[in-house]
Structure 1
């Protein structure tokens, strides 16, 4: 967590952001080092050797802590708490427009306290600083823990259906699972070392070239080629091109139909823009990509829940019948009754928190229904398909509700809390919920103590949230928040100021395209279930318009091409023999990428970054 705070946000921001990719590089690297150390213990001190369950517990805890402190969650929270008060000015008129609606117990208003926070050259450990921050930190910590706990309870209810009954493949856990269960076999595989050397060698060369420009480099990072000057083709914009080995490796582990759908629908979305330009609809917002994606994600939640409706009815029956629930309890992590009770307690706390902050009850219910639907869909996608990136920018309930009913109907207090919840909806890179379920799945795979893993997840969440606040505030008072992640605050409060100054009317077109995205995804799912020849996957439609797919479409296409050829020419056996090579691609980029980030952090150097930034 300390490394995440340092590298992603503060001292050395311009580094590979491990929490923007589905598989966290810092978690895999930590597991790799621990597995190597554990192999040494096997020969020199076997009585001290860690078991597979203990290795899994460490990995799950690192993933959970990283997700909580990641680029899509708490890094945004800390930018919101004091931003409106520090940057309020006569020009933006936030003093009258915004500040009256921000709850005092969720913000820091004292500019003397904030001066050290934003400008640095101060210390957190002053009485006035601690007094100003203690209430907002505890308030937000309780909210985030209740949210994370609620998601864990949902996972406990869905676990048996998705893990034991449907037996979803969980492609993302394949690499950490092999490191935990087959380290010797994996490390002896020549294919792994070829892939690792290839990917790591490219990043090593590019890193040296970055420091010493006289050396050659291999351009694998994102760039844009060719801009058409004439309509309608100018609507395509620049064509993004990249060759990230780690994405090629990750995409090799996902199903062929999904990888095909990802790059196919990427171009489908681009051609929609061309069609809109031909029709002269560019000023209307057509094709409303964020709204279509949001509808698609919601459908991806509804589809598996509808398919498992009998199972869900059974859960309710078991929870009501005390005798049966007690018997089933011995086979589950906790009883269904306890999971449902925990979910109601968590959601009840969220409802009370938001109501006390000024939100209307009906808005709270709709807001968190949409938010949790998006979370469930992302968790399902990772469990079934293992998408390399799932960012879903700017398509949360804070975007959908104002367009559906207008900002006047919501009122300034609801809108203000929408801005305070920017960390929930800006993007979904590092959501915690998928990592929780993946940890429970791996506990099944390695036959670990599931209740121990569950306890580790809860304890990590409980500790990581306030620990992040402490780490971040401590460093900010030394080096200054300004020029770090403060732009998240500008995004949230500039939008709020615009809402309050120029209220939005109902956007019927945008709302209709949410429905179109929903129905299109349902339609693709129905076609897929009825016709074996139908090659498209509904998740590919939903995720292919994102920033992440803009970055990854070409590596996914390359991986799809290689995997298709291997399966057609060599069969499934050849495909399985090739897997270690592609795992090596992932490890090679992770190891060298973390090496360059660490060098930059230690020596305060601007070093090569393996990812987009």
Structure 2
């Protein structure tokens, strides 16, 4: 496995060609995609370009470069096509910025809605107006704000000035998060890649795809028959399914597209019979112990939920019998243990940042360790100041920012280990406040906590998984890694602005309420309803002990399993599954994970590592075939079903 990984990375090593072209392509493509996504997401309602940990907004343009643009460049002359390392640069830059619209969309909807939807009945004016700082929300601008939701009259122009202040402050906050993520990804890379040797399935697949040694500029793996088998299966199913767009009576093949649920009783969650080719393809590069952990823990959790629901100990902990609180407790232990394991490396990096002595070679990193440390500390400090100025208690704000990054880092490690295309973090920074003692939060802290809930982003931890992956993919580039690091940061900030401008402009053109978007119609108002209900419920906290008991139990389970994993070489199950399985994104992926685990066990036992390597073209073909078929679906929606498209790529 390690030898194969080194062969892949060798292909990504740069030649003497200038990096200007790859940087220009990566930056312009990433900014353009982030500007286009609001249109495809809110207006076209077609294939989602933002869902998942490996969004189609990254895969689609990347594969177009590999399979369309590169062969065309090759046809025009030898040596002008994009080389593997240039394709890696494009993929890396776009991946770090791939979740901007998902985060920003809900944030923008939240800071826009306060004055527009306030009514005497919802009590926002009484409870929220005095607590949410004026710079955190669009001002009460009457019709100029209403036009954003209802559409701009033909005789009017977009009133950009009412958006400048809140958009600046929120973008600065999100920008600080993104810069901090890239900086810490640089700091932790050596520990995860060289010491712990995490798999990084996303990086492995990207490096496999970025191959140009075949004839006429096409990848060499296209000559493998197994590639075309893998390509044909998902492509045929999706293309066949497209026929149903035009004829409701068209016989459909739902495998690989739709979800089929089976209910075995009212006390247990539904079992999801969904197969996703992309999940299975990336899971092929995941460690067997990790795959086993995911599906085994889901079985255990499913039984636990049924038992706790049946005996009636679930009041106050939700429908999943305390499993959510249990996952949070386990995730805290997972994150803290991961940082503790890296303590020697982190200590050395921070010592080098604050002294002239250089004991670690950082020449191949995205940025020097000194730059990374100071950028991370600067981002940390800015977020702390932002929350404090917003009204949060300074001490509480410190712990929120601390756990914001602790949870982000932990989830980035989860993705680096699992390669799950759809996953959700059990913990976010503000979620640490769920274990705060009853009535310990003041009204100002509650208000900031609620509006920061808009940074939920389906629990995907924004740019941290991307920052870690960028550091991993940048190292083989050698000295060009510095250029890649600067490009990533600059492109990320530009993409934030492009996404915000595009969303605001589209709102005024079509009316945000006409988007039919959950984030504008449902999610954003809930945060202000949360301010009202949380303040009115001060002194009425119930079931705190029950919630904490499940949280502590989850921490103990993961703690004991972590000890066993490090203490006993025969221990078969990784504790990571305990932190993931209660959430919708993982539950709908369980069948795909299980089938991949079974297939990989059989492959390794029958043919060993050589048969495993021979199967790689098959899964690469699945990725390519599935993605190109979804691109065709988008084109069909654009031509024949504008505004009423079909999203076949979902799972968040």
Name the TM tier (shorter chain): over 0.9
* Mapped contact 1:211–1:607 kept (Cα < 8 A): no
* Offset, 1:499: 0.8
After the TM superposition, which of the residue ranges 441-450 and 251-260 deviates more from structure 2? 441-450
Structure 1 residues 371, 458: CA separation in 2 closer, same or farther (over 3 Å shift)?
same
Check if 1:573 corresponds to 2:603: no
2:450 aligned residue? 419
Instruction: Tell me how far apart the structure 2 counterparts of residues 499 and 441 of structure 1 sit (CA, whole Å).
Output: 42
* Mapped contact 2:38–2:506 kept (Cα < 8 A): no
1:429 aligned residue? 460
Structure 1 residues 436, 602: CA separation in 2 closer, same or farther (over 3 Å shift)?
farther
**Secondary structure at the counterpart of residue 372 of structure 1:** helix
Check if 1:440 corresponds to 2:477: no
Instruction: Tell me how far apart the structure 2 counterparts of residues 49 and 580 of structure 1 sit (CA, whole Å).
Output: 23
Check if 1:31 corresponds to 2:59: no
Instruction: Tell me how far apart the structure 2 counterparts of residues 304 and 214 of structure 1 sit (CA, whole Å).
Output: 53
* Offset, 1:63: 1.6
2:648 aligned residue? 610
Check if 1:351 corresponds to 2:384: yes
* Offset, 1:605: 5.4
Check if 1:216 corresponds to 2:251: yes
Structure 1 residues 249, 278: CA separation in 2 closer, same or farther (over 3 Å shift)?
same
2:238 aligned residue? 203
Which of residues 191, 200, 207 in structure 2 aligns to 1:177?
207
Instruction: Tell me how far apart the structure 2 counterparts of residues 11 and 331 of structure 1 sit (CA, whole Å).
Output: 42
Check if 1:370 corresponds to 2:392: no
1:165-185 per-position Cα deviation (integer Å, ceiling 9, x unaligned) = 333221112221112235522
Structure 1 residues 276, 144: CA separation in 2 closer, same or farther (over 3 Å shift)?
same
Structure 1 residues 339, 578: CA separation in 2 closer, same or farther (over 3 Å shift)?
same
Which of residues 32, 37, 50 in structure 1 aligns to 2:82?
50
Instruction: Tell me how far apart the structure 1 counterparts of residues 534 and 191 of structure 2 sit (CA, whole Å).
Output: 43
* Mapped contact 1:150–1:347 kept (Cα < 8 A): yes
Instruction: Tell me how far apart the structure 1 counterparts of residues 392 and 165 of structure 2 sit (CA, whole Å).
Output: 20
Which of residues 465, 471, 491 in structure 2 aligns to 1:460?
491
2:419 aligned residue? 386
* Offset, 1:333: 4.2
1:83-482 equivalences under 5 Å are 83-108=113-138, 109-122=140-153, 126=157, 129-181=159-211, 184-220=219-255, 221-228=257-264, 233-285=265-317, 287-324=321-358, 328=361, 330=363, 332-392=365-425, 395-406=427-438, 408-425=439-456, 427-429=458-460, 431-445=462-476, 447=478, 449-482=480-513
After the TM superposition, which of the residue ranges 76-85 and 207-216 deviates more from structure 2? 207-216
* Mapped contact 1:252–1:563 kept (Cα < 8 A): yes
* Offset, 1:219: 1.7
* Offset, 1:399: 3.9
* Offset, 1:292: 1.6
1:521 aligned residue? 558
* Mapped contact 2:454–2:524 kept (Cα < 8 A): no
* Offset, 1:588: 2.0
**Secondary structure at the counterpart of residue 314 of structure 1:** helix
Structure 1 residues 261, 16: CA separation in 2 closer, same or farther (over 3 Å shift)?
farther
Which of residues 53, 61, 65 in structure 1 aligns to 2:93?
61
Instruction: Tell me how far apart the structure 1 counterparts of residues 114 and 166 of structure 2 sit (CA, whole Å).
Output: 14
Q: Flag the structure with higher helix content.
A: 1
* Offset, 1:349: 1.3
After the TM superposition, which of the residue ranges 100-109 and 316-325 deviates more from structure 2? 316-325
After the TM superposition, which of the residue ranges 26-35 and 445-454 deviates more from structure 2? 445-454
Q: TM (normalized to structure 2)?
A: 0.87
Which of residues 525, 532, 556 in structure 2 aligns to 1:490?
525
* Offset, 1:502: 2.1
2:17 aligned residue? none
Which of residues 556, 561, 564 in structure 1 aligns to 2:598?
561
Q: TM (normalized to structure 1)?
A: 0.92
* Offset, 1:596: 1.3
1:510 aligned residue? 547
1:329-354 per-position Cα deviation (integer Å, ceiling 9, x unaligned) = 54544332332222222111112211
Instruction: Tell me how far apart the structure 1 counterparts of residues 413 and 61 of structure 2 sit (CA, whole Å).
Output: 26
Instruction: Tell me how far apart the structure 2 counterparts of residues 253 and 167 of structure 1 sit (CA, whole Å).
Output: 13
1:501 aligned residue? 536
Structure 1 residues 94, 123: CA separation in 2 closer, same or farther (over 3 Å shift)?
farther
**Secondary structure at the counterpart of residue 570 of structure 1:** helix
**Count of matched residue pairs:** 601
After the TM superposition, which of the residue ranges 270-279 and 546-555 deviates more from structure 2? 270-279
Instruction: Tell me how far apart the structure 2 counterparts of residues 328 and 586 of structure 1 sit (CA, whole Å).
Output: 36
Structure 1 residues 123, 550: CA separation in 2 closer, same or farther (over 3 Å shift)?
farther
CA RMSD of aligned residues (A): 2.3
**Secondary structure at the counterpart of residue 249 of structure 1:** helix
* Offset, 1:567: 1.1
Structure 1 residues 535, 442: CA separation in 2 closer, same or farther (over 3 Å shift)?
same
1:279-327 per-position Cα deviation (integer Å, ceiling 9, x unaligned) = 22132427322222222222222222211222222223323331436x8
Instruction: Tell me how far apart the structure 1 counterparts of residues 330 and 155 of structure 2 sit (CA, whole Å).
Output: 44
**Secondary structure at the counterpart of residue 313 of structure 1:** helix
Structure 1 residues 237, 143: CA separation in 2 closer, same or farther (over 3 Å shift)?
closer
* Mapped contact 2:63–2:624 kept (Cα < 8 A): no
Structure 1 residues 337, 2: CA separation in 2 closer, same or farther (over 3 Å shift)?
closer
* Offset, 1:501: 2.2
**Secondary structure at the counterpart of residue 272 of structure 2:** strand
Instruction: Tell me how far apart the structure 2 counterparts of residues 162 and 125 of structure 1 sit (CA, whole Å).
Output: 54
1:585 aligned residue? 622
* Mapped contact 1:61–1:456 kept (Cα < 8 A): yes
Instruction: Tell me how far apart the structure 2 counterparts of residues 24 and 146 of structure 1 sit (CA, whole Å).
Output: 22
Structure 1 residues 311, 238: CA separation in 2 closer, same or farther (over 3 Å shift)?
closer
* Mapped contact 2:288–2:597 kept (Cα < 8 A): yes
Instruction: Tell me how far apart the structure 1 counterparts of residues 573 and 153 of structure 2 sit (CA, whole Å).
Output: 56
1:224-277 per-position Cα deviation (integer Å, ceiling 9, x unaligned) = 54434xxxx531143221122222222222111111211111121111111113
